[in-house]
Amino acid sequence: MNSANIQGSSALTPKKEIIKINASKSETAKLRVAGYARVSSDSADQMNSFSTQVNYYQRTINGNPMWQMTEVYADEGISGVSVNKRDDFSRMIADCKRGKIDRIITKSTSRFARNTLDAIGVIRELKDIGVTVYFEKENLDTATLTSENLLTLYSLFAQEESMTISKNCKKGARMRMSKGTYVSSNAPYGYRLVNNELVIEETEAEIVRRIFSEYLGGKGYSAIAKDLMADEIPFKNNKMKWRSQTVGIILKNERYVGDMLLQKTYSEDALPYRKHINKGELPQYYVTNTHEPIVERIQFELAKILREERCYNINTEYGEYPLSRKIKCAECGTTYRRKVTNHTTYWVCRQHDDSKEYCSSQRLPEEKIYRAFVRMYNKLLKSYGNILIPLLSQLEKLQELSTRNNPEINTLNKKIAELSEQNHVMNGLLSKGILDSALFISQTDELQKKIRKLKSAKLKLLEEQDADDSIDKTEDLIDILENGPDKITEFNESLMEEIVTKMIAYDDKTIDFLLINGLVLKEGL
């Protein structure tokens, strides 16, 4: 091939050409930013009011050209020790999951959560869905964190701060107790707290007097509770939830004679702040005549004497014992009866006792049943956090599912959602400077009143559902365990009455304890 041909071939090959395509300059989308605060419910505390917080976050967020304000989420007067029961916090997290929020700003780690595990858990969850959190006080931004070590450190500081505050509050409270100047933070049924003083609420006070009168007249806790339920007498928060333990608590409460026993319970200084009954670990202070009484002192003392007599001197005239009518035979379903043989007390199936041909079950020594209850209670107390808390969560989920099919509740939910959306719109108008602050406060206050009224109506409907009853009984059981003895070494009739509805005996080897919330726990004999 000659050079001429080569040159001709090269001339036919297209020349490589590079064309540069310039990048288009599109406007970067603004981050949708929400503010989270814990605000004061005290009208005098304007520094931490909702409107003040909204105005603050409005200025802060709108001052950043890369940010767009979405909403301010705020929980009123709620401790930051746990994220549980913070409605707006939960709503904010839900909005993050729905893709409505890109970024959250809050004053400090202590405002976000005062529990390290809660803080880290939420941050991890938000990080997974691309939502960042900025803590102003610590100048800490999860968007720039390469690890969680620093956040953990600050959360620990916040946790320590919470514990320090708690200790200081306890110290101050105990000083006031010792001087007799302590003011209760809550009012028992029959009273209202007005200007730090217990004031009688006459409608409820009449019910308290009725309870004392009927008890002194011979009625037991359960009978009184049933009669109150039958008469549709509301308890706290207009709930028709009278129970035997509630009646017992009222009959034992010295506040109804105008006195106060201070430091009945105490909580641990370390997280979690578990409450214990004070059995001498700390001093108690009995202060007389601190407020107006509801019942006469003689009535209170007589009720105490009667209670002790019923507890220690069991009335055998009608065969009433701590285990009466509580034990059922697993084989035939018959109720057990009490028998004494050679100075030893037994419980035996009535069917078996009448004829061994009909039932082959064995008699049970009473002492064995008592010991089984002691073991069951102590085991439950030790592990209720792993049993009852998840159960309560599942029941609440079931309740949520059942409410979806309730047209009345659905209607209320829609109305609540509509009003909440109006509140959201109002926040947006305020943040853009369209709405006057004074008008915003008046409008949002009215909206909040309507929302609270709708939520109250919804709560009343929920109480009528079966799931809600199980939830209440599970909460009651948790409350009994949290406020009851830390450990028992002998049979406790009062505890048995409060937490056990029935027992199923399987021959002489095992026994099932059916608890008030339907939970069944098996224990060996």
User: What pLDDT, on a 0 to 100 scale, did the predictor assign at position 229?
Assistant: 82
In a domain? residue 328: no
Pair 384, 515 in one domain: yes
pLDDT value at 161 more than 70 = no
Strand pairing class (275-277; 67-76): unpaired
Domain hosting 106: range is 31-164
- Is the pLDDT score of 373 beyond 80? yes
Check pLDDT > 90 for residue 369.
yes
Pair 130, 186 in one domain: no
Residues 519, 377: one domain? yes
- Do 139 and 61 reside in the same domain of the chain? yes
Q: Which one has a higher pLDDT value, 327 or 79?
A: 327
67 and 150 in a single domain? The answer is yes
pLDDT, tens digit (0-9, with 9 covering 90-100), for 454-495: 877 776 666 555 455 677 788 888 878 877 777 888 888 878
Q: In this structure, is residue 362 part of a structural domain?
A: no
* 100 and 200 part of one domain: no
Torsion sign across C-alpha atoms 106, 110, 111, 112: positive
Regarding whether 520 and 399 lie in a shared domain, the answer is yes
| pTM given for the model | 0.40
Do 381 and 491 reside in the same domain of the chain?
A: yes
Better pLDDT: 233 or 429: 233
Q: What is the mean pLDDT of the chain?
A: 75
Identify the residue whose tokens are 């514990």.
163
Whether 245 and 124 share a structural domain: no
Q: Quick one: angle between helices 366-403 and 466-483, nearest 10?
A: 130
Distance CA 489, CA 501 (A): 21
> Would you say how long the chain is, in residues?
525
Residue of higher predicted confidence among 240 and 110? 110
Burial class of residue 398, CB neighbours in 10 A (0-12, 13-18, 19+): middle
Half-sphere exposure of 441 (CA within 13 A, CB side): 10
Residue 187 shares a structural domain with residue 301: yes
The structural domain count of the chain equals 3
pLDDT (tens digit, 9 = 90+) per residue, 8-49? 445 566 666 776 565 544 455 788 999 988 765 444 444 456
- DSSP-based three-state secondary structure for 213: helix
Residue 182 has pLDDT above 70, yes or no: no
- Rounded Cα distance between 149 and 306, Å, is 60
* pLDDT at 83 (0 to 100): 46
> Which CATH number goes with the domain that contains 298?
3.90.1750.20
Among 397, 392, 395, 396, smallest CA distance to 477 is for 392
Domain with residue 137: its CATH number is 3.40.50.1390
pLDDT, tens digit (0-9, with 9 covering 90-100), for 406-425: 677 677 777 877 777 777 67
User: What residue type is assigned to position 508 of the chain?
Assistant: D
User: What single DSSP character describes residue 257?
Assistant: G
Asked if residue 83 and residue 46 are part of one domain, the reply reads yes
Q: For CA atoms 36, 38, 43, 49, give the dihedral sign.
A: negative
Alpha carbons 144 and 425: distance in angstroms, whole number: 32
Last residue of a domain, one of 281, 296, 312: 312
Per-residue pLDDT, averaged over 355-371, amounts to 86
Prior bond of 272 cis (ω within 30°)? yes
Spatial separation of the C-alpha atoms in residues 334 and 312, rounded to whole Å:
28
Please report whether residue 45 resides in a domain: yes
> Is 175 inside a domain boundary?
no
Terminal-to-terminal C-alpha distance of the chain: 108
Domain boundary pick from 164, 193, 227: 164
Domain membership flag for residue 454: no
Q: In this structure, is residue 269 part of a structural domain?
A: yes
Tell me, what's the pLDDT at 28?
Answer: 59
Q: Using an 8 Å Cβ cutoff, are 140 and 119 in contact? A: no
The half-sphere exposure of 456 on its side-chain side, counting CA atoms within 13 A, is 10
Q: Which domain-ending residue is among 121, 139, 164?
A: 164
Q: What is the structure's pLDDT at 187?
A: 81
Residue 344 lies in a domain: no
In a domain, 460, yes or no: no
Alpha helices (runs of H) in 180-220, residue ranges in sequence order: 202-216
DSSP H or E segment with residue 369: helix 366-403
- Both 208 and 105 in a single domain? no
